[in-house]
Chains A and B, each alone.
Chain A
Amino acid sequence: MKQKKLILGILAALILLTAVLAVLHFQTRDKIPKGALLVSCQGKTAYVELDHLSLTEISGTLVNGKGEEKTVSGQGVALFSLASGDVRSATVVAGDEYAAAVGIEDAENAWLLLGEDGSARLIVFGDANAKRDVKRVVKVVFA
């Protein structure tokens, strides 16, 4: 009985801790409107409406972690076209804080593809690294 109380106590404490941290996280994270991106470049931050971007028809091949190729097409914008000034890299962040880095050497292959739900997806064509397939992009930080 004492043991069960201890286990329940630990569970309750952990759930409470998770709830408190979740509330703090919700209050401190960037609140980005749906259909928009938060772009940070050289100390300046701005919201960019995805609908207002000049979209280009994109088509190319993605390679997943198993080496399988998949053709992807749609409308999107070059990732580095969102930057103002000279930048060396971009960190693309999803809504769940998953982030991927893209160097300027991949500029020609890095695109933000607009999905049917209005969200953006990072595509790096020919990339064998599955880590850089980021869905529901909400923030791009240029450095």
Chain B
Amino acid sequence: MKHTRLRRLIFLALCCDLGLFTKRLIAPAANILTDSLHIPGGISTSFSLMFLVIAAVLAPGFGCGTLMGAVQSVIALSLGMVGSMGALSPIGYIVPGLVIDCVVFFSRKARLSDEITMLAANMLSAASAGLAANGIVFHLSGLVLLLYMAAALTSGAICGALGGSLVPRLRPILCAGLQKEEKK
């Protein structure tokens, strides 16, 4: 296996694991915000999705986000980290991954910058994760649903902006091997 491809796969695996486990780390802080807003959730997911978006932006091709979402769902099910969604938790991982792939695909077609792509992908994937959780678990409606979605979009945008500042730093490291091989 070429070094470049191996490096990318290791990076994807790292982002996959970080996305899955950092949600638990940030949950206590996120719960303070959601408790104060009187909504059941929607903030910590954005931080975990940031890692998937970073990987999807840096990796070429379509399907990276969906693949990582699927892997995350398998890991979560095998470790019993299913939360309130139970057996339907794979939907909560795969749907945001698919949204990330779609946003990154259209952003590349439109030649948007990495920062804008990160922002849009993180926002929309956080919103899709929130909608999935609402459909399966919360069944919110009306004003509280609007607030819940606004919180997801806002936290997604903040994490997307944070990720957008990381991507330029990570791209040279990840693509260093590719440049060396091209020179050969």
Q: Which residues of A contact B (CB under 8 A)?
A: 3-4, 6-7, 10-11, 14-15, 17-18, 21-22, 24-26, 28-29, 65-66, 94-99, 129-131
Q: Mark B77-102, 1 if CB is under 8 A from A, else 0.
A: 00010111010000000000000000
Q: Mark B21-53, 1 if CB is under 8 A from A, else 0.
A: 000000000000011011110000000000000
A-B contact count (CB 8 A): 78
Contact (Cβ within 8 A) B138 A11: no
Give the secondary structure class of A's interface.
helix
Contact (Cβ within 8 A) B82 A65: yes
Contact (Cβ within 8 A) B153 A14: yes
Residue of chain A at shortest CB distance from B160: A7
Interface residue B157 (Cβ < 8 Å from any Cβ of A): yes
Chain A residue numbers with a CB within 8 Å of B150 are 14, 17-18, 21
Q: How far, in whole Å, are A4 and B161 apart by their CA atoms in the complex?
A: 9
Q: Mark B120-148, 1 if CB is under 8 A from A, else 0.
A: 00000000000000000111100110110
Chain A residue numbers with a CB within 8 Å of B153 are 14
Q: How far, in whole Å, are A66 and B84 apart by their CA atoms in the complex?
A: 11
Chain A residue numbers with a CB within 8 Å of B164 are 7
Q: How far, in whole Å, are A3 and B37 apart by their CA atoms in the complex?
A: 31
Contact (Cβ within 8 A) A99 B139: yes
Known: A22-B147, A97-B144. A10 touches B119 (CB 8 A): yes
Interface residue B15 (Cβ < 8 Å from any Cβ of A): no
Contact (Cβ within 8 A) A21 B147: yes
Give the secondary structure class of B's interface.
helix
Q: Which residues of B contact A (CB under 8 A)?
A: 34-35, 37-40, 80, 82-84, 86, 113, 115-116, 119, 137-140, 143-144, 146-147, 150-151, 153-154, 157-158, 161, 164
Residue of chain A at shortest CB distance from B31: A96
Q: How far, in whole Å, are A66 and B153 apart by their CA atoms in the complex?
A: 31
Contact (Cβ within 8 A) A25 B38: yes
Contacting residue for B144 out of A14, A25, A129, CB 8 A: A25
Residue of chain A at shortest CB distance from B161: A7
Chain B residue numbers with a CB within 8 Å of A3 are 113, 115-116
Residue of chain B at shortest CB distance from A96: B40
Contacting residue for A97 out of B140, B151, B161, CB 8 A: B140
Chain A residue numbers with a CB within 8 Å of B115 are 3-4, 7
Contact (Cβ within 8 A) B146 A21: yes
Expressed in whole angstroms, the minimum distance between the Cβ of A67 and any Cβ of chain B is 8
Expressed in whole angstroms, the minimum distance between the Cβ of A8 and any Cβ of chain B is 8
Residue of chain B at shortest CB distance from A10: B157
Q: How far, in whole Å, are A92 and B150 apart by their CA atoms in the complex?
A: 25
A/B interface sample: 7 pairs, CB < 8 A: A10-B119, A18-B151, A21-B143, A22-B147, A65-B82, A96-B38, A98-B137
